[in-house]
Amino acid sequence: MRSAALTLAGLLTFLSACDAPKDDGFGTPKPVKDDGMVHKPQPLPEAPPDWASALAIAPAFNQADGTLTVTLKIKEGFHAYGPGEEVSKPVALALKDGTPWQLDGAVAIPPGKKKDLGALGTSVILEGDVVVTAKLKGGPGAVEAVLEAQVCTDKACDRPRKHPITIPAT
């Protein structure tokens, strides 16, 4: 019985010590507003860009005058890079090895426009429908070429990609 009394006395001493406010040197605590929030709401993350639908390519070949025309249809919110770009990969068009056709002069790519991309720097970009042309000589046979392009948004870039182009002989 004496053991139970000592245990009860010890418990009462402990509880009375816990109820008394204690000055621990940190001062009076600031009142906490309880608005029910556990944490500050965070904005939802943006969905990653859909690189697969960012660029469509429409090639055409006029055999009568030997003009190869490749139209890049760049989706709104995306851009590719034009001639003079120094950081990213600019658009380029080349004929595949072994094709019966040869370039007859330089490939014509629009000059693009300079755009400040913030932390990424200033770039020469192409937006919307971009028409790339090249005069060809030689033939006959299918025209086989490769269009190289890197597509980006203002915040991210896809890796540079090679897009094969084949226009059957007519």
Give the SS3 label for residue 75.
Answer: coil
Cα–Cα distance measured from residue 119 to residue 144, given in angstroms and rounded to the nearest whole number: 38
pLDDT at 98 over 60: yes
Residue 1: per-residue pLDDT: 52
Query: Domains in the chain: how many in total?
Result: 1
Longest dimension (CA), the chain: 116
Q: Is residue 83 part of a domain?
A: yes
Lowest mean pLDDT among 2-16, 41-55, 80-94: 2-16
Q: What is the domain extent for residue 75?
A: 51-167
Among 142, 147, 146, 135, CA closest to 68: 135
Sheet holding 161-167, edge to edge: 92-95, 143-149, 161-167
The length of the chain in residues reads: 170
Q: Is residue 117 part of a domain?
A: yes
> Which CATH number do you get for residue 153?
2.60.40.1250
pTM above 0.95, yes or no: no
Q: What does the pLDDT look like over 49-59, one tens digit per residue?
A: 999 999 999 99
Q: Is residue 43 part of a domain?
A: no
Q: Is residue 143 part of a domain?
A: yes
The residue that leads in pLDDT, 121 or 42, is 121
Average pLDDT, the chain: 84
